[in-house]
């Protein structure tokens, strides 16, 4: 018998494996795997649907059918880059296999560990807030491996942690019986007008705002993409024959935790074209 996440003893928990690992900074961790004999809850899609457009300038722009919200990119690596470069230079000057090199190597590892911990903390808090407030989360299936081949964006893309964020959303939604829906990466979310569905031929990355030549609606690029991603997710759910209250309705898992993201999201107002 052991305790689960909420501190309640579960009589059917069986310890399967114990894995001991050591980090580059010299810390030891024990990972315990328990079989709780618990099944995942049945997926119920009868609440709020949110669309998420992931980016670099803003980590995420979301739309839940009522409002859009922006979450800034914390840029964890950039905050520690000067300190990291300084310690890496010191490491490079050390004699190979010396004690001073070993110490310098550990100092570099500590900076990387700090960056990793800050990134995971941000992603856990944001994913928890989104999952607590929504039953269905719709995102694009991004080709991260292909995108990091761009030398200008490789460092920024690697730092944001889109893949980790998707994994966090996935397992948190499964725990509450929600659903993560990934739409095709080629879906034209940015260059399609969310008001009249007019599709632009091209939409370069440097274009952050644009006006639809068909209906005259002025769009924020990322907010418009989040709306289209959400709409495409709802369309796919309807094709599958799944009923969903996409236009609203409170969705709270029974016994769910309160939001752990202290700062409120920024509401983005729709700009009307003249």
pLDDT of residue 238: 85
Q: Which of 8-22, 35-49, 155-169, 243-257 has the weakest average pLDDT?
A: 243-257
Q: Quick one: 187 and 245 in the same domain?
A: yes
Domain extent for 111? 39-267
Is residue 201 over pLDDT 60?
yes
Q: What is the rounded distance in angstroms from the CA atom of residue 53 to the CA atom of residue 246?
A: 18
SS3 of 266, please? strand
Q: What is the rounded distance in angstroms from the CA atom of residue 159 to the CA atom of residue 169?
A: 18
Q: Does residue 21 sit within a domain? A: yes
- Residue 135 CB burial class (10 angstroms; 0-12, 13-18, ≥19): buried
Q: Does residue 80 sit within a domain? A: yes
Q: Quick one: 1 and 101 in the same domain?
A: no
Question: Residues 196, 137, 152, CA angle at the centre, nearest 5°?
Answer: 80
Question: Each residue of 1-58: pLDDT tens digit?
Answer: 444 444 444 566 788 999 999 988 889 999 999 888 778 788 878 789 999 999 988 9
Mean pLDDT of the chain: 83
Q: DSSP alpha helices (H): ranges in the chain?
A: 76-93, 99-133, 144-147, 154-160, 162-176, 221-239
Say which residue the tokens 């005259």 belong to: 216
Q: What is the rounded distance in angstroms from the CA atom of residue 27 to the CA atom of residue 43?
A: 39
Strand ranges across the sheet with 49-54: 179-183, 136-140, 49-54, 58-63, 68-72, 266-267
Number of domains in the chain: 2
Q: Which residues are catalytic?
A: 53, 140, 222
Q: Quick one: 16 and 59 in the same domain?
A: no
Element (H, E) at 32: strand 28-35
The predicted model scores a pTM of 0.78
Q: Quick one: 28 and 88 in the same domain?
A: no
Q: Does residue 31 sit within a domain? A: yes
């Amino acid at each position: 018998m052991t305790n689960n996440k909420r501190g309640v003893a579960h009589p059917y928990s069986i310890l399967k494996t114990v894995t001991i690992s050591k980090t580059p900074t010299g810390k030891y961790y024990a990972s315990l795997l328990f079989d709780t004999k618990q099944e995942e809850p049945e997926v119920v899609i009868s609440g709020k649907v949110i669309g998420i457009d992931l980016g670099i300038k803003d980590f995420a722009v979301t739309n839940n059918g009522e409002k859009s919200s922006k979450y800034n990119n914390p840029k964890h690596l950039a905050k520690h880059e000067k300190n990291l470069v300084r310690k890496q230079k010191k490491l490079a000057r050390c004699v190979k296999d010396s004690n001073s090199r070993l110490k310098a190597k550990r100092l570099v590892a500590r900076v990387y560990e700090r960056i990793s911990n800050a990134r995971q903390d941000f992603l856990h808090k944001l994913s928890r807030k989104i999952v607590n407030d929504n039953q269905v989360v719709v995102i694009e299936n991004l080709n991260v491996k292909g995108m990091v081949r761009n030398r200008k964006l490789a460092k920024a893309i690697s730092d944001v942690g889109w893949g980790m964020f998707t994994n966090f959303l996935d397992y948190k939604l499964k725990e509450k019986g929600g659903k993560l829906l990934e739409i095709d990466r080629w879906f034209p979310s940015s260059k399609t007008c969310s008001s009249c569905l007019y599709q632009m031929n091209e939409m370069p990355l440097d274009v952050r705002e644009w006006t639809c030549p068909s209906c005259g609606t002025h769009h924020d690029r990322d907010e418009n993409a989040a709306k289209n991603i959400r709409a495409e997710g709802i369309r796919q759910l309807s094709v599958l024959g799944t009923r969903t209250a996409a236009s609203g309705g409170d969705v709270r898992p029974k016994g769910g935790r309160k939001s752990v993201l202290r700062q409120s999201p920024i509401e983005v107002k729709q700009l009307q074209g003249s």
